[in-house]
Structure 1
Amino acid sequence: MHDNQPRTITPDALPEVITRYLKAHRAHDTATAITAFTGEATVIDDGNTYEGAESIEGWLDRSATEFTYTIHLTNAQQIDATHYIATHHLAGNFPGGTVDLRYRFTLRDDLIERLVIEP
């Protein structure tokens, strides 16, 4: 038995910083979303890596305007004190139309240090 097996938690049990990021991201509020990240955070999305606040801010702006979609949190998991997974169902005008994406968060000092978004 591994201690690092994800366990399902209720979405409201996600850390405040993750909830703040997700709400801001859904609202296309880049200014608030960026405050959830450390200054040297890394985001990996769609095979691209964004490092540092400026790069992540650009990614947030692009992802807010590139496609129109709805996003629903469908599952939340905790791996340990600093690792969480939030699974979202997206539907919209992007290639394929619908997708379930896992947002894998690594936290440091109550901020997001790393975010990997993948199917």
Structure 2
Amino acid sequence: MLLDDRPRLTLDEAGITVRGLVRRRIVRWDRLLPGGPPAPAGKAAATLVLSQQPSTPAGRPVPRSLAVGRAHVDAVFLAGSVRHYVEHPERRAAIGAAPELNRLRAVVGGAGS
């Protein structure tokens, strides 16, 4: 049996999950700020930069990033999808359904694979 060392990235009602061979990272929707993440470009396309709710004593957002380059996803579509679901929490329950993916493609654009 061959092991696939690519991370698995999923969006669901709870948030964004990245699963590697030994580690799993979950970023909940309610920890993300509206308006982000920016669409990655160039060398930055392998990383999705997220701004999380303030967790510092100064109350500044904590920038976090997800390595998505090896996940073989359309990083621009992913960034648009994350922005959309942060700003439209009422749509999160439909994540994973074919009609929602079609609707998301129409709203965000891109391949959406």
* TM-score band w.r.t. shorter chain: 0.3 to 0.5
Give the TM-score normalised by the residue count of structure 1: 0.32
Higher relative contact order (CA 8 A, sep 6+): 1
Q: By percentage of residues, which structure has more strand?
A: 1
